[in-house]
């Protein structure tokens, strides 16, 4: 196992200071290893996640070689030649577990932002103190965007949040964490080959969730109550102005509709599984409230906005992979982790084999299936 940094590098180096997992502690499961602390319903800080993974590496005696950067993997004979900062390795098979979120995904329109406005990505953001005083435009309203918008607003800065397609979730439903419902009702069990539109499922934005001791919901209504101003999707930057799409109400209605459908699924499952009586009563959150007249334009040169945070997602980095298995969108071509080249495998990608694969707790089943295939390949079966 080659790691360019330390064990749990992404959790040590690439997360903002206040970040906590949005999955509850009891859901932090790795093969044969689980959270056993005093707060199963709490949410780990990034430092605690790093400790958790480090302990797993020790207990599982994973043969990790840290500080070894892979600079190239290419086909050689019936296997691969891996070039690293510490020499070359020839091997029959390679498992790519280099992460799905190595780089920020920033839209090209960022290049038209006037130089007076500072731009930051979540990989570089550590806390609001890093930002200049004054207004902040946060682009993207998924888990990262809503969390950063709330934190920056609480630091006293005016915040505009640009909202596109998003996944709204309450933190708690009928007395249970919403991710308990995802797990228990089987939603997260859905296999990649049962999903209607797999490409879309793999690109689905992360849910609007935050892990706090109060288990509070951080949806757009909560942000409005905090004083965050909501605007539409950032469509263009022209002549120094940010132009936002209209139709915010439609975007909100769609997210509300999908949320209510999901809650219907949960309620149905509660009835059919006989768990209904042990849970609180079904409830529906208030619809997302739209501002009376959302702004369609903000002048980025006028001083109102001093910085932009691009919470527009992440993408993997396969710059070191010299095997033609990456598509034009920069994603690996694979079938449930079996990559489109003999002996090449992948783990740790969204909806790799199940919806659960996007989360830490998804790795156990995925790893079993992928290593099963790999062992068969090595055995020539
Ligand atoms: C902001 C954020 C919040 C998240 N919150 C949650 C959450 O609440 N719950 C949850 O379950 N999941 C969450 N996730 C998803 C989570 O990151 C994954 O579930 C998990 O960390 C993936 O682990 P991984 O080992 O596959 O990838 P990573 O953690 O990205 O690890 C990949 C490793 O590969 C190393 N690497 C990359 N390229 C090379 C190279 N060329 N040579 C050598 N080493 C290399 C990197 O240094 C890194 O250590 C979150 C992700 C992000 C980005």
Q: How far is the CA of 103 from the centre of ligand 1 (A)?
A: 11
Atom of ligand 1 nearest to the CA of 101: 53
**Cα–Cα distance measured from residue 356 to residue 351, given in angstroms and rounded to the nearest whole number:** 7
φ, ψ of residue 9 to 5 degrees: the values are -55, -45
Q: In what order do the strands lie in the sheet with 234-238?
A: 234-238, 241-244, 297-299
pTM, rounded to two decimals: 0.96
Distance CA 289, CA 272 (A): 33
Protein residues with CB under 6 Å of any ligand 1 atom? 2-5, 9-10, 15, 21-23, 69-70, 97-99, 101-102, 144, 314, 320, 348, 359-360
pLDDT (tens digit per residue) in 144-160: 999 999 999 999 999 99
For residue 360, report the distance from its CA to the centre of ligand 1, in Å: 9
Ligand 1 centroid–CA 100 distance in Å is 7
How long a stretch of residues is the chain? 381
Residue 326 CA to residue 316 CA, distance in Å, equals 10
pLDDT of 381 reads 75
DSSP string, 123-177: TT---GGGSPSSEEEEE--SHHHHHHHHHHHHTT--EEEE--S-EE--SEETTEE
- Residues 293 and 313: their CA atoms lie apart, in Å, by 27
Residue whose Cα lies nearest atom 10 of ligand 1: it is 359
Q: Ligand 1, atom 40: nearest CA belongs to which residue?
A: 70
Ligand 1: atom nearest CA of 359 is: 11
- Where residue 135 falls among pLDDT bands split at 50, 70, 90? very high
- The β-bridge relationship of strands 103-104 and 167-168 is unpaired
The average pLDDT across 291-309 equals 96
Please give the mean pLDDT across all residues of the chain: 97
- pLDDT tops 80 at residue 234: yes
Q: How confident is the model over 205-233, as pLDDT tens digits?
A: 999 999 999 999 999 999 999 999 999 99
């Amino acid at each position: 196992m080659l790691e360019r940094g330390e064990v749990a590098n992404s959790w040590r180096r690439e997360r903002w200071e206040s970040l906590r997992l949005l999955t509850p502690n009891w859901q932090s499961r790795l093969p044969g290893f689980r959270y056993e602390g005093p707060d199963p319903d709490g949410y780990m800080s990034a430092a605690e996640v790093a400790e958790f993974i480090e302990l797993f590496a020790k207990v599982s005696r994973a043969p990790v070689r840290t500080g070894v950067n892979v600079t190239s993997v290419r086909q050689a004979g019936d296997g691969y030649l891996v070039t690293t900062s510490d020499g070359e390795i020839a091997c029959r098979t390679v498992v790519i577990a280099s992460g799905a979120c190595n780089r920020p995904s920033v839209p090209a329109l960022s290049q038209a932002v006037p130089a007076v406005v500072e731009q930051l990505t979540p990989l570089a953001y550590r806390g609001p103190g890093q930002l200049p005083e004054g207004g902040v435009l946060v682009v993207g309203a998924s888990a990262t965007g809503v969390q950063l918008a709330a934190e920056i607003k609480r630091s006293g800065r005016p915040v505009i949040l640009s909202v596109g397609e998003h996944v709204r979730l309450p933190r708690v439903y009928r007395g249970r964490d919403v991710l308990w419902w995802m797990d228990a009702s089987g939603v997260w069990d859905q296999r990649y080959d049962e999903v209607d539109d797999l490409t879309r499922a793999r690109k689905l934005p992360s849910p609007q969730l935050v892990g706090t001791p109060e288990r509070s919901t951080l949806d757009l209504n909560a942000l409005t109550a905090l004083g965050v101003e909501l605007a539409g999707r950032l469509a263009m930057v022209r002549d120094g102005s940010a132009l936002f799409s209209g139709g915010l109400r439609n975007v909100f209605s769609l997210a509300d509709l999908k949320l209510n459908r999901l809650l219907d699924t949960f309620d149905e499952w509660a009835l059919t599984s006989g768990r209904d009586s042990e849970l609180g009563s079904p409830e529906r959150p208030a619809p997302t409230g739209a501002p009376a007249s959302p702004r369609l334009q903000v002048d980025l040169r006028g001083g109102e906005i001093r910085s932009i945070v691009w919470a527009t997602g992440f993408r993997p980095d396969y710059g070191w992979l010299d095997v033609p298995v990456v598509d034009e969108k920069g994603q690996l071509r694979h079938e449930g982790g079996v990559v489109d080249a003999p002996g090449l495998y992948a783990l740790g990608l969204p909806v790799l084999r199940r919806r659960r694969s996007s989360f830490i707790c998804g790795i156990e089943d995925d790893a079993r299936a992928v290593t099963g295939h790999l062992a068969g390949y090595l055995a020539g079966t």
